[in-house]
């Protein structure tokens, strides 16, 4: 094998991986799987795809070895092959927000129009936890909370929040978090909480970002 063949080989393999990521639905699937493993049907539902279509996208990710499968009873669970997959998605996400005005505009317009408040970064949250009292609320679906959540966070899924406000303290600051910067659950939660007189803000990033930094995590085993 000569030099050129070697280079062509390497770059074409890397392009294959990149291609497997280069689709809006597959990026959304990666973000979803970063919350924990998940059967096909749930992925299809969450991403608004048909099951057959979701399955096909998962096959593409599997062929690129970005996801692994696990059979659990009647269901087949998919999961990210390793941390590096989320890391790469994070790099792409950040590149997008920084480089592409369209993405930043989408995010800002949507957020600012409906939810006019600032968010807290992971670093800021760590300081807050160290120095003061904070109530952490995980507003993702309970199944995702169970698969892993920030230590000491309580689970109140976004669609149950209005009925469960009493569980939250009025005095201490509340930080809501969800899947990631493009997930709206936390924004909706904060809007609701503020309207009800609570002192609340959202975490800018999501649970997978917290976990990637090796910060304390808890799992609810079934």
Partner DNA sequence: TATCTATTCAAGAACTTTATTGAATAGATT
Partner DNA sequence: AATCTATTCAATAAAGTTCTTGAATAGATA
Backbone CA torsion sign across 164, 168, 170, 173: negative
Q: Which is nearer to a copy of itself, 1 or 52 (CB)?
A: 1
Residue 187: HSE in the Cβ half-sphere, 13 Å Cα cutoff: 18
With respect to a copy of itself, which residue has the nearer C-beta, 98 or 123?
A: 98
Binding of DNA by 65 (CB under 7 A): no
* Stretch of residues binding a copy of itself (CB under 8 A), selected from 103-111, 116-124, 137-145, 195-203: 103-111
Q: Could you say which of 30, 58, 175, 178 is catalytic?
A: 178
User: Rounded to an integer, what distance in angstroms lies between the CA atom of residue 222 and that of residue 4?
Assistant: 53
Q: Which residues contact 136 (CB under 8 A, 6 or more apart)?
A: 129, 150, 152, 153, 154, 174, 175, 177
Q: How far apart are CA 98 and CA 96, in angstroms?
A: 5
For a copy of itself, give the closer residue by CB, 99 or 164: 99
Q: Does 75 bind a copy of itself (CB under 8 A)?
A: no
Site map 77..116 versus DNA, x via CB under 7 A: x---------------------------------------
Q: How far apart are CA 209 and CA 95, in angstroms?
A: 16
Binding of a copy of itself at residue 79 (CB under 8 A)?
Answer: no
Interaction between residue 11 and DNA (CB under 7 A):
no
Of 32-61, which residues contact a copy of itself (CB under 8 A)? Answer: 48
List the Cα angle 83/151/139 in 5-degree steps.
85
22 binds DNA (CB under 7 A): yes
Task: Give yes or no: 178 in active site.
Answer: yes
Q: What's the CA gap between 112 and 128, in Å, rounded?
A: 24
Query: Which structure tokens are listed for 66?
Result: 């970005």
Q: List residues binding a copy of itself (CB under 8 A).
A: 1, 3-4, 6-19, 21-28, 48, 64-66, 81-82, 84-85, 87-88, 91-96, 98-103, 106-107, 109-110, 182, 184
């Amino acid at each position: 094998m000569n030099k050129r063949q070697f280079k062509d080989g390497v770059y074409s393999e890397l392009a294959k991986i990149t291609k497997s990521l280069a689709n809006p639905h597959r990026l959304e699937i990666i973000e979803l799987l970063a919350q924990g493993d998940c059967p096909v049907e749930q992925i299809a539902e969450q991403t608004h795809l048909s099951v057959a279509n979701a399955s096909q996208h998962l096959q593409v990710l599997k062929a690129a070895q970005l996801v692994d499968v696990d059979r659990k009873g009647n269901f087949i669970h998919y999961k990210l092959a390793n941390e590096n997959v989320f890391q790469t998605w994070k790099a792409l996400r950040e590149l997008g927000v920084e480089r592409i005005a369209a993405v930043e505009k989408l995010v800002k317009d949507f957020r600012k129009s409906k939810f006019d408040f600032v968010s807290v970064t992971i670093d800021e949250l760590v300081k807050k936890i160290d120095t003061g009292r904070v109530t952490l609320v995980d507003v993702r679906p309970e199944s995702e909370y169970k698969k892993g959540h920030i230590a000491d966070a309580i689970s109140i899924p976004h669609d149950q929040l209005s009925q469960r406000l009493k569980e939250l303290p009025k005095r201490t600051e509340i930080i809501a978090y969800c899947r990631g910067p493009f997930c709206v659950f936390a924004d909706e939660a904060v809007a609701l909480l503020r309207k009800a007189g609570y002192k609340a803000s959202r975490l800018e990033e999501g649970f997978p970002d917290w976990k990637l930094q090796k910060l304390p995590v808890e799992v609810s085993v079934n």
